[in-house]
Structure 1
Amino acid sequence: MSWYGFFKVPFRQFVKHGYKATITGAENIPRTGGVILASNHVSSADTFLTPALIDRQVTLPVKAEAFRRDQGLVWGVIGWFLKAVGMVPLDRTGGRAALDGLGPVIEALKEGRVVGIYPEGTRSPDGRLYQGRTGVARLALSTGAPVVPVGILDAKITGKKLGIPWVERPRIVVGKPLDFSAWKGMEEDRAVGRWVTDEVMAAIQQLTGQTYVQAYASSVKSGSMDAAEADRRVRERPGGGPAPQAPPTASA
């Protein structure tokens, strides 16, 4: 048994019987091959709820700093654990470095693994769904892997029990896979990247019913955008424009 399997057994029992979490639509996750699980992000519990409830191993990109071994014993243990259970480092500094930092995640998909990501980039500050960052499109367009939308509901931390952050009856809803393979190789096209990202976020919104805000959650959390401006950016759904033209070779 792998370290991932070793730790998953107690986590799954805890999530199912402690939190009384449920999942529907798990059959929509392909049984083999690289898969991108794209989810809304409402709680710190999100990172283990979905992995605990699905059969396939889930690889999560984790900030690269957590893998450093030169930050003392505690961080050394954390770095060992993350590597042991198959997590991969992600550069979150932004810009070109962040795009290049997707390399380990792309490799995981090419190896046929399931990768879980949160396109919003950070937890929602108010429970609404915010604009997705285009990293999810870059992963899909670089690899051809299907994107499976995941909606997480009722996962707000309600307090603690025995020192453990507690969630009451969270629900995971898994949607049908989205196939963007016709646009494979167009990850450098900004218009295609934004369209793919908006389609993914729209699919997530259909599962959760969240109000959509056309702004980055990080802007609200940092204070660079006030609540009033965020309210003015509420939209019926992400994107909605026509699909961009696929390259001729895609259907050849």
Structure 2
Amino acid sequence: MSLSIDTMVRSVKNEFSSQQLAQVSMERRKLVKLEVDYIPQSREKWAAILDDRTTDRELAENAINACYLYAGLDRARVLWTENPLTAMKILLDRPDLVDVGSSILHQICNSCDRQIDEQIAPEFIDVVKAYANPRATIVGEQHQMAFDPLGDFLNQVSICEIQKSHPHLDPMSLPTTLQDYRIAYLSYFDYFHQIGVEIPQIQLLIDLARSCGNCWAFENIAILTPKPAALEFNDRGELMALVYDGINILE
């Protein structure tokens, strides 16, 4: 996807003044020039986060505990697994686990969306979703936006591997991950947080994105995985290896 700013965004730059940037308005406002100029920087920041292969267990555990507390839940015991396939096999053997991930995501993301929607004009929200997201791309004849095709593909790969040994698995029965390969959408929230929209709660999910791979939240227990050591693609852009501890789990 081209990083060029379209005509509508260019017109925003022409409306900039330092007074506008400093002014807090109760109406849903447009982005001003300095804010528009920050979009590519935000994109680069999140491209680096997605490329980083470092797992920080202390940061991840602190973040997941903070997520539980934000949602009004007791802290959970944290269980680290080797990779997403190991984690999913554990989940299949533990139907008694009560998923709270959806509730946590609902409370954090909905509150962020609400704050942004109350302050920023809708057309500018769409621009940020498209241009601050390092995995967004334009697809199809209708030029529709796909916000994370690579993340969706990687998630589907894990499910397909599990279905080889559990052919009757319903993917919809799997619990929600607090953040996984589809974390690119967090660039959208982070961008508005950085330009002054008061959504400090998004830092909880950002810390998870920076520090670990997949994360499932249940009553009393959270299951986390490290980040993969490497992703490898062939010349056609097809994923060939998802490497954990020197092992390609796709084989």
Task: Identify the TM-score tier after normalising by the shorter chain.
Answer: under 0.3
What's the TM-score, normalizing by structure 1? 0.22
Q: Hey, which of these two has a bigger chunk of strand by percent?
A: 1
What's the TM-score, normalizing by structure 2? 0.22
Structure of greater Rg: 2
Q: Hey, which of these two has a bigger chunk of helix by percent?
A: 2
User: Greater RCO between the two (CA within 8 Å, min separation 6)?
Assistant: 2
